[in-house]
A and B are shown apart, each in its own frame.
Chain A
């Protein structure tokens, strides 16, 4: 059996890639994809721990995370569309109305 720490390493790497992408990229849609990447890293950790503790609750939690992710994507993409209508761009550097 593959040790749980291997799965957690993959989870750590995917999560860090997601964080790095959110900081590096300026395209709102790519930033969104990086958030999905982070959620998947968390899901992987959930399932790995579910395996380790021999309970199914972790998998049920992943089910809920996926539902919330779907809702988040629907609302987020709607926001991006309306942002594109106002600015003709999805570059987040141009959306700085609330900057102090």
Chain B
């Protein structure tokens, strides 16, 4: 990838590469491991690595929520369902796993990477300067809270209704008799 920039080695840069490599490798493992439990654990590692990336971006609150809600609650739900259904790994190892349309999937993956990658490589990103103080600040959580209860108050309330509906919907769906 010729468009990556390599400035002098610094702590954030080393952290970025560590988390990025872990995230990508574990993401690859999610789709090639035969046992769903292994896939779920690889996904937990990916989520934790992405949380680390959030930290290097100065988003402490989002990183904490990522670990608690995603890697904690949601993945426990996944593992719970996998074990409830007593799913076994697909037979035949890697070959047994990859029995979708391999050519189509590979072509689409490569096409996506090249298309979005060329966008990343060529686009000129806006250099905003709205409020630099909002970053690298220990008040990150406080500022997000203020935003949530002022500008994003309506979406916040709507999302709470959405969660209620999802709760009821999942209970009704998983019930034995409709």
Contacts and interface: CB of A to CB of B under 8 A. Distances in A.
Contacts of A19: 108-109, 112
A37 B134 contact: no
B4 A2 contact: no
Contact of A24 (B7, B78, B102): B102
Question: Chain A interface residue count: which class?
Answer: 35 or more
Nearest to B27: A17
A97 to B, nearest CB: 16
Interface in A43-100: 43-44, 47-57, 59-60, 62-64, 66-75, 77-82, 84-85, 90
A17 B134 contact: no
A9 B155 CA distance: 30
B159 A68 contact: yes
B62 A73 contact: no
Most A CB contacts (10 A, CB to CB) among B40, B121, B129, B170 go to B170
Given A5-B4, A33-B43, A81 B129 contact: no
Contact of B159 (A12, A54, A56, A64): A64
A56 B143 contact: yes
Residue among A27, A56, A84, A90 with most chain B CB within 10 A: A56
A77 B81 contact: yes
A24 B98 contact: yes
A81 B173 CA distance: 8
B109 A54 contact: no
B162 A71 contact: yes
Interface size class of B (residues with CB under 8 A): 35 or more
A33 B78 contact: yes
Interface of A: 1-10, 12-21, 23-27, 29-30, 32-34, 36-37, 40, 43-44, 47-57, 59-60, 62-64, 66-75, 77-82, 84-85, 90
5 contacts: A17-B109, A26-B90, A51-B59, A51-B135, A59-B59
Interface of B: 1, 3-5, 7, 12-13, 16, 20, 23-24, 27-28, 30-31, 36, 39-40, 43, 46-47, 50, 53-54, 56-59, 61-62, 65-66, 69-70, 73-74, 77-78, 81-82, 84-85, 87, 90, 97-102, 104-106, 108-109, 112-113, 116-117, 120-121, 125-132, 134-135, 140, 143-144, 147-148, 151-152, 155, 159, 162-163, 165-167, 169-171, 173-174, 176
The 6 closest A-B pairs by CB, nearest first: A53-B128, A71-B166, A21-B31, A78-B173, A78-B170, A23-B105
